[in-house]
Structures are given as structure tokens and as C-alpha cells.
């Protein structure tokens, strides 16, 4: 039984590291998107002045410039975001499966149905995010500003197909991820509160359960992630005691 709690403890460490990694990835993605958004503004500015050899760039309609600023403008950025999604989702999924295994150990010891349900949701649901998140951000046809210029300057009759990284797939992946983590963490929090008296650190379980439940409700925001982060630290201390 102690081996299951040991695995869960290391799973919490991996999960905490994945939260930190998410913050780094989010900062990188914000930077990438900010750089992309500047391209439409830059083009609009350059079209106002004559350039050496090139001359004056064609003045694009506002809708075209706005489109240039709104979409992911380079294949490099698309595959960068895809790679970062894999890097951030994989450790979170692995850590979650290990944490869920610890709740399965609690189920075998206490015969608590809540522990079993929590273990299954965390192991299967959170584990599946390692596939769901990257698939949602899988790069498809990326629209470049140079394609827009070509279409506008040479022929307005060529149909313009816009398929970007941040399209339907990303929306579906975000929705599924949000549903899984919200339900999973709320359920985990309720389970921690319910079984707290049967653990060596009931106060930790009570505080961690409350934080985990609140964190689940707010998980898609920074505050929610911070609450779950603290709840995991409290839960790690419980698993350390259960190993003894």
C-alpha cells in the first residue's frame, strides 16, 4: 500500500512542476501572439511611406489588415505552440495519473466509493488531456500576411480560405479540458474533505479539500491554479505520512 502513496507523492511533485511549466508556456504564447498582432499594424504603417526599390506597398482594406493582425501569421509560430502544448500537457497528465493512483490506494484501504470515482476521473480524464490538448492545437493551414498581399494585389477573385491554429479544434480542446479539470478538482476536493478523519493529517485534508474545490471552480484562471497548487502541497504531506 505504501508504494501507491509513494507514487502519488512523486505524481504531485510532477504536477506542481507542470503548473510552473504552464506559466512559462503561457508567457511564451502571449509573446508569440503579441508579435503576430504587430505584423498587421506594421504593414499598415509601411503602406503609408515609400520604400527603396519596392516603392509604396499597396494599401490594404481595413478588414484585411485586421485579419492579418488577428490570425496566427507564421507556420513557425503554429508548430511552436503545438510543441509547447505537448511539453506542458504531458507532465501534467503523467503526474495526474500518479496522483489518481494514490486515491486508488485510499479506496482499497478505506473502501470509499468517492476515492474510487476520484481515482478514475483523475487517472483517465486528466491522463487523456495529454492527447486532447495537443490535438486541439494541431497546426493546420496557416494564413501568412504574404498570402493576403498576394491575393489582394494580384487577384481579388481567388477564394481566401482561413484555417488557423486557434480555430474550432482549439475551442473544443479548451472546452473539454475545462470541463475535465473543473469536475476533477471539485470531486477531488470533496473526497479530501469527506475522508479527512481517516487520514493522518485531517487538517491538511480539510484545508486542501476546500482549496481544491475552490480551485476547480476557478481553475482556468491564475487564482484557481494557485489554489490547486497549495492544495497539492497539503496533499503531498498527507501522502508522506501514509507511506510510513
Model confidence pLDDT, tens digit, residues 101-156: 999 999 988 888 899 999 999 999 999 988 888 877 776 544 444 445 544 454 44
> Please, what is the Cα angle at 187 between 182 and 188, to 5 degrees?
100
Q: What is the pLDDT of residue 30?
A: 65
Which value, in Å, is the radius of gyration of the alpha carbons in the chain?
Answer: 24
CB 211 within 8 A of CB 234: yes
Distance (Å, rounded) from C-alpha 18 to C-alpha 87?
Answer: 9
Q: What is the largest CA-CA distance in the chain?
A: 78
pLDDT tens, residue by residue, 57-75: 666 565 555 555 454 444 4
Amino acid at each position: 500500500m505504501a508504494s501507491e502513496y509513494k507514487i502519488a507523492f512523486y505524481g504531485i511533485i510532477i504536477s506542481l512542476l507542470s503548473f510552473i511549466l504552464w506559466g512559462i508556456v503561457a508567457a511564451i504564447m502571449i509573446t508569440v501572439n503579441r508579435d503576430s498582432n504587430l505584423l498587421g499594424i506594421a504593414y499598415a504603417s509601411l503602406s503609408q511611406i515609400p520604400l527603396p526599390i519596392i516603392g509604396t506597398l499597396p494599401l490594404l482594406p481595413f478588414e484585411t489588415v485586421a485579419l492579418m493582425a488577428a490570425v496566427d501569421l507564421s507556420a513557425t509560430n503554429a508548430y511552436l505552440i503545438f510543441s509547447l502544448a505537448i511539453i506542458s500537457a504531458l507532465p501534467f497528465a503523467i503526474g495526474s495519473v500518479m496522483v489518481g493512483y494514490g486515491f486508488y490506494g485510499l479506496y482499497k484501504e478505506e473502501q470509499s466509493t468517492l476515492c474510487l470515482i476520484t481515482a478514475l476521473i483523475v487517472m483517465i480524464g486528466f491522463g487523456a488531456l495529454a492527447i486532447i490538448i495537443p490535438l486541439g492545437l494541431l497546426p493546420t493551414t496557416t494564413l501568412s500576411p504574404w498570402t493576403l498581399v498576394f491575393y489582394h494585389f494580384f487577384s481579388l477573385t481567388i477564394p481566401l480560405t482561413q484555417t488557423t491554429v486557434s480555430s474550432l479544434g482549439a475551442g473544443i480542446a479548451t472546452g473539454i479540458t475545462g470541463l475535465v479539470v473543473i469536475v476533477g478538482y471539485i470531486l477531488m476536493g470533496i473526497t479530501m474533505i469527506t475522508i479527512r478523519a481517516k487520514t493522518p493529517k485531517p487538517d491538511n485534508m480539510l484545508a486542501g479539500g476546500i482549496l481544491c474545490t475552490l480551485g476547480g471552480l476557478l481553475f482556468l484562471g491564475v487564482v484557481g491554479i494557485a489554489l490547486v497548487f497549495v492544495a497539492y502541497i497539503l496533499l503531498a504531506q498527507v501522502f508522506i505520512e501514509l507511506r510510513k
